[in-house]
Amino acid sequence: TKLPTMIPFFWGTYIPEHGFKSVNYVQFLGNDLFTTWCIQDYRDYLALGPGGPPYNVRGWAWITFGVRPFALSQSAATYVADYPTSGSHPEIQNLPRREGDRALLGGIAPHRQLSQLAPECMRTYITNLFTNAARQYPSILETKKSLYERHHDALFVAQGILESQPESLPKTAIIARGELGHAHPDLSVHLYLSPADARVVIEKGWAERHRLSVPETSWVKNKYAVASTYLMIYGPRDEKEMETLRIILQNSIRFMTGRSEVEKVEWKEIV
């Protein structure tokens, strides 16, 4: 029996006896590469740990195909041109520049720090800082389960203020449903800052934008209840950097509650 003559094409195969067949090499190659990419991307997603979306393939698919198209690129996370150049709090203006290169971050949700991690001894200090903030200012702050992370607690504007005095709060607090921020298992911290403070903190190397924290000029602004000044603060590597985190949190509280009288929050021990 004579075998059919097969003339290969880059985009398929022509078989004289049967015409052009839908044997598409480019399609096969593309499907294989896409499958390989999906597997690796899913592994990277799981490596970030639980946080926010379901910790399974459904959560990965939602973030990858439903959320990522609206996110900033990693290189755009340090963009500050949409923030004002003046108006930051004096303590923020006086912050030193962070030593070394920026930490490497991964993911969108979860959003985690991958390098230059804070040492374990900082965990107690960070826990103290957030706990004491709510204890020292119970009339304006409260602790609840994070609406973003869903797996651990976050600091919120007190519900009473959100309900009875929304006009005293910045629009950001309403968009964020009152959530100021939270710490992650890797000891990095998400916080909202004023636009002017956000610019300084990013420029001095302490933070970068969450990748859903797109500029106010974007057509996808405030999507997924994330406003334009939601930042990732790199985990403190020593007590000096812990004091910097304290100053940043203090001014986050001032901005998100609309109260300027907020003073030092203790972090070395529980008050």
Query: Closest Cα to residue 188, out of 231, 234, 144?
Result: 234
* Band of residue 174 on the pLDDT scale cut at 50, 70, 90: very high
Mean pLDDT, the chain, whole residue set? 91
pLDDT, tens digit, 9 for 90 and up, residues 219-230: 999 999 999 999
Burial class (CB in 10 A: 0-12, 13-18, 19+), 215: middle
Predicted TM-score (pTM) of the model is 0.87
pLDDT, tens digit, 9 for 90 and up, residues 105-122: 999 999 999 999 999 999
pLDDT, tens digit, 9 for 90 and up, residues 242-271: 999 999 999 999 999 999 999 999 999 999
* Band of residue 4 on the pLDDT scale cut at 50, 70, 90: very low
* Band of residue 31 on the pLDDT scale cut at 50, 70, 90: confident
How much is the average pLDDT of 198-218?
Answer: 98
* Amino acid identity for residue 56 in this structure: N
Please give the Cα distance from 110 to 238 (Å, whole number).
25
Query: Does the pLDDT at position 209 exceed 60?
Result: yes
